[in-house]
């Protein structure tokens, strides 16, 4: 249960972090733009029921093919895939329930706040397996540093899967939940831990310039995706953010 709660809190914590940083600077437009990009997208594709349940077992299969169709039909957009899971991270000294986010390294670097908050090491490298980024507080709890081995364990449809990783970097965000309970890894490696589903993603984020969702974008994405997954505009995926607009 704790790992499920950790995974479900990832997007909300990211939104809160970005909100706080930008609101304190008075940069309202940047606030909206950054939060939308990091938390969902101007339009987001998710498994049916995910918006309400936030269940990490609800995944979109064949995500690369779907992302390619969306971009082909909407070439002005940027399309990013993310995989959000709950699990455990363990070192020889300790184990902690965490939320784990699998990302496309280069694409995510362009929209994430975390690369700016790195304390040691470096951002994830595309095409490199076995890397994780963790908060400095989590690193202290695990008693690990750069290059040290940790093991991630995730549960998918009742099956446990574990893989070893090396700590590639640590970050300090200033949010207790994220610094204690959040792990980043490369998407392809995390996908390998989920049996019985091809090329899974929790969300396919469709992004454009600015923070306003263009008229017709949701319908165009729906046409590209077809029936099945949820297709939501940013204000549907992030209602609390838009209530404060």
Q: Per residue of the chain (245 residues), what is the pLDDT tens digit?
A: 444 444 444 555 555 444 444 444 445 556 667 778 888 999 999 999 999 999 999 999 999 999 999 999 999 999 999 999 999 999 999 999 999 999 999 999 988 889 999 999 999 999 888 999 999 999 999 999 999 999 999 999 989 999 999 999 999 988 888 899 999 999 999 999 999 999 999 999 999 987 778 899 999 999 999 999 999 999 999 887 777 55
Q: How is residue 80 annotated by DSSP?
A: E
Residue 89: both structure tokens together = 């991270």
Can you state the angle between helices 28-39 and 2-24, rounded to 10 degrees? 160
Pairing of strands 159-171, 131-135: parallel
Which phi and psi angles does 18 have, rounded to 5°?
A: -65, -45
| CA-to-CA separations, 48 to 15, 78, 149, in angstroms, rounded | 22, 22, 36
Alpha carbon 149 to chain centroid distance?
22
How many structural domains is the chain composed of?
1
Q: Which domain holds residue 139?
A: 2-243
């Amino acid at each position: 249960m704790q790992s499920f709660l950790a995974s479900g809190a990832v997007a909300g914590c990211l939104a809160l972090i970005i909100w706080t940083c930008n609101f304190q600077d008075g940069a309202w437009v940047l606030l909206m733009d950054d939060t939308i990009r990091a938390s969902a997208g101007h339009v987001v594709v998710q498994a049916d029921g995910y918006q309400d349940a936030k269940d990490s077992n609800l995944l979109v299969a064949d995500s690369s093919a779907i992302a390619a169709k969306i971009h082909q039909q909407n070439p002005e957009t940027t399309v990013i895939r993310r995989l959000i899971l709950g699990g455990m991270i363990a070192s020889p000294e300790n184990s902690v329930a965490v939320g784990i986010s699998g990302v496309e390294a280069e694409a995510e670097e362009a929209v994430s706040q975390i690369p700016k908050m790195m304390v040691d090491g470096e951002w994830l490298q595309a095409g490199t397996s076995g890397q994780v980024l963790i908060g400095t507080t989590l690193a202290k709890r695990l008693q690990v540093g750069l290059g040290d081995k940790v093991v991630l364990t995730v549960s998918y449809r009742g099956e446990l899967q574990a893989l070893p990783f090396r700590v590639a970097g640590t970050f300090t965000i200033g949010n207790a939940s994220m610094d204690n309970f959040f792990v980043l890894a490369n998407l392809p490696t995390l996908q390998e831990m989920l049996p019985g589903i091809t090329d899974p993603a929790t969300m396919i984020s469709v992004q454009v310039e600015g923070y306003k969702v263009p008229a017709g974008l949701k319908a165009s994405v729906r046409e590209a995706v077809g029936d099945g997954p949820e297709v939501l505009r940013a204000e549907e995926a992030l209602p609390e953010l838009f209530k404060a607009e």
